[in-house]
Structure 1
Amino acid sequence: MPSIPRYETLKLSQPKPHVTLVELNRPTKLNAMNLQLFDELKTCFEQLNIEKECRVIVLTGSGRAFSTGIDIEYLSAAAAESIEIDDIARKALHVRSMIERTQECLRAVDKCEKPVIAAIHGYCIGAGVDLSACCDIRYSARDTIFSIKEVDIGLAADIGTLQILPKLITDHSLFHELVFTSRTFDTNEAQQIGLISHVFDTREALLDAAISLANVIAHKSPIAVQGSKINLNYARDHTVDDNFTFVRTWNSAMLLSEDIVKGLMATSVSKEKSKL
């Protein structure tokens, strides 16, 4: 990218052309999420969404963890702020607004039109699982400990886990157990429910694999890749008939792309070479 933005709670780099590595950067807090981190995630992913030099994003955590969830200090401060409001209806509206702000920050990851690959290691707890749910592809290091922690603190998860994952996971019985008990689980169970697709022995191998995959995707037509993500997310949230209508309209314009001609020509040349 021409100039890589700097943030207080995120660290950005470009390990490969057109690939942006975004690291949650509160390692001394095990990347627990405070208000600043939430806000910077939104700003960062909205900016990457329109950054032409960025085609694929790898999201990970610096230090020993992907994320241990919402920072307790931030949660306590938010609770104290709401206590100051006397009227119960106004208090409810205040809390609702706070939840909506947090949801919008993580939804910026889900709504980003560039593919987002989560590289998860160490701990992925509470809001860390919410954040991973907003990513398109999830890889993990073998030693990662997961927990859908919200029930343990008297909450229903409200920023991704219960809203997105039920449409993606493969073992609903086990998923419900993990939600209701808040118990920790390992990569075996994470794979069983379909939360992660590949497991790697070390964080280094995990990052190498995630960046390598991002590099492969970055060399594909960005028109085709972004269009595929937009249609996948639309399909997740709509009926089959709606999906066919949407893709008809979408491809009525996208089929005019020069990338299709180039792709067909490249495929034709490849087939001719294979005959030699």
Structure 2
Amino acid sequence: MNILLTRELKTCFEQLSIDKTCRVVVLTGAGKAFTSGIDVKYLSTVALGELSQIDDSARKALHLRRMIKRTQSCLRAVDQCEKPAIAAIHGHCLGAGVDLSVCCDIRYSSCDTTFSIKEVDMSLAADVGTLQILAKSITNHSLFRELVFTARTFDTNEAQQIGLLSRVFDTREAVLHAAINLASAIARKSPVATLGSKIQLHYARDHSSDDNFNFVSTWNSGMLLLKIL
């Protein structure tokens, strides 16, 4: 994953979000893996090369912060897309690949997939999804912290234990087939209802129960008047 891919990802999901012909998105990798993570060559050449041209440490920090925020906005375009996004994962899902999958609403995987929250090995804290989104919904905090602190690889069994995956399949083909079938099932539902549900789920992630009840009552008071129901 390099800067070009993340920018194209942002553009793609922003367009899909408003595309009236699209109701669900399935995201998968075209090669042998979902993604092996961030392009380390890019980090070591382009990014660090830009920083080397700045003398002042404060300005370096500001420049680096802008770079991080740009990358965050690219992956958050997946999370913020108005259409449900399904990740069909196979092969390897490492580092930023885990961040990308976390930005999807639903995650399916083939049984041979290996995962790693790799950022600690790069002297970083994961900053584009895993610690910001998944940490709020995991089912095993102890195991999740172990995986974060050690950056070790883990399999689909442990991925399910922490709540990263909902279903696991024998082959890559089976994963994609199941993801497309699920997308078809969701696409047959009211687009207003699926949009409202996704917005409510996102809102609930960051607000109290009282706020959530107030929000959904206001939302539904308008949506329930639509003839589409």
TM-score bin (small chain):
over 0.9
1:28 paired residue number = none
Partner Cα separation in structure 1 for residue 210 and residue 42 of structure 2: 43
2:40 paired residue number = 72
Partner Cα separation in structure 1 for residue 226 and residue 163 of structure 2: 34
Residue of 121, 132, 151 corresponding to 2:101: 132
Aligned-partner residue type, residue 75 of structure 2: L
Q: Describe how 1:1-276 pairs up with structure 2 within 5 A.
A: 33-76=1-44, 77-260=46-229
Partner Cα separation in structure 1 for residue 94 and residue 119 of structure 2: 9
Segments of 4+ moved more than 2 angstroms: none
Quick one: higher RCO (CA 8 Å, sep 6+), 1 or 2? 2
Q: CA deviation at 1:220?
A: 0.4
SS in 1 for 2:26: strand
Partner Cα separation in structure 2 for residue 237 and residue 60 of structure 1: 28
Partner Cα separation in structure 2 for residue 135 and residue 242 of structure 1: 24
Partner Cα separation in structure 2 for residue 177 and residue 80 of structure 1: 33
Q: CA deviation at 1:83?
A: 1.7
Q: Which moved more, 1:72-81 or 1:191-200?
A: 72-81
Q: CA deviation at 1:257?
A: 1.3
Aligned-partner residue type, residue 95 of structure 2: G
Q: CA deviation at 1:205?
A: 0.4
Partner Cα separation in structure 2 for residue 254 and residue 74 of structure 1: 46
SS in 2 for 1:204: helix
In the alignment, structure 2 segments of 5+ residues that lack a partner are none
Partner Cα separation in structure 2 for residue 155 and residue 84 of structure 1: 22
Calculate the TM-score normalised by the size of structure 1: 0.82
* Post-superposition CA distance 1:173-222 (Å, at most 9, x none): 00000000000000000011110010000000000000000000000000
Partner Cα separation in structure 1 for residue 124 and residue 167 of structure 2: 30
Q: CA deviation at 1:37?
A: 0.4
1:12 paired residue number = none
Q: CA deviation at 1:81?
A: 1.1
Q: Which moved more, 1:73-82 or 1:154-163?
A: 73-82
Q: CA deviation at 1:169?
A: 1.0
Q: CA deviation at 1:259?
A: 2.3
Partner Cα separation in structure 2 for residue 240 and residue 42 of structure 1: 31
Partner Cα separation in structure 1 for residue 228 and residue 90 of structure 2: 36
Identical residues among aligned pairs (%): 72
Aligned-partner residue type, residue 49 of structure 1: S
SS in 2 for 1:257: coil
Q: CA deviation at 1:80?
A: 1.8
Larger radius of gyration: 1
Q: Which moved more, 1:100-109 or 1:80-89?
A: 80-89
Partner Cα separation in structure 1 for residue 180 and residue 8 of structure 2: 22
